[in-house]
Amino acid sequence: MTQAQKIRNRIHTLQYNQEYSAEVFTDIANQETIKKTLQRSQNLIAKTSTKRFYRLYLDTDTDVNPYAVFDNQEKVKFNSKLYTFNAFWQTSKPSIQKVSSIIRNYLATMNPKDIQTLCSQFGRNRVKRELIQKYKEMYAQGFINVKGLEIALEGRYDRNPAFRELLGMINDC
């Protein structure tokens, strides 16, 4: 079994809702292998500038409530009065919205106050996970469509300046 396979196997034994660093793998692999495997891993979220990460929750996992806040809820009652403006313009009254839709709509505004509200309402880990998933999906598609203009996306999602700025705002929560 290669060092990378050993690292991947150990990732699946890590607890949810707990922050880890690369030191958990030092007994089974060298630094270069750890670094490359963690960068390529699809089973980790919230790789921060401090080199810490969380285990990604998969729908096939058996843990019912892996994270502390709102991870197992699809929809919540949304009150637009908590935010600077209503991103769900269809109604000004409280409504039932998907958690992912709320987080992604307000991440798109890049408003620090709204991002702090998201973190306090849904948890910093959930907001980070949505940010990472949103950017991975955009980069997998290869372009972003802005009012009919397709802008090509090149490179890695985690090197995008907007992604880094949003991640910094989330880390400051």
Number of CB atoms found within 10 A of residue 133's CB: 16
Q: How far is CA 53 from CA 21, 50, 146, 150, in A?
A: 6, 9, 32, 32
In a 10 Å sphere around its CB, with 0-12 CB exposed, 13-18 middle and 19+ buried, how is residue 93 labelled?
exposed
**pTM for this structure?**
0.57
Q: What is the pLDDT of residues 28-67, one digit of tens each?
A: 888 888 777 777 776 676 555 556 776 766 555 554 444 4
Q: State both tokens at 108.
A: 């798109």
Q: What is the pLDDT of residues 80-125, one digit of tens each?
A: 888 888 887 777 778 888 888 889 889 988 899 999 998 888 888 8
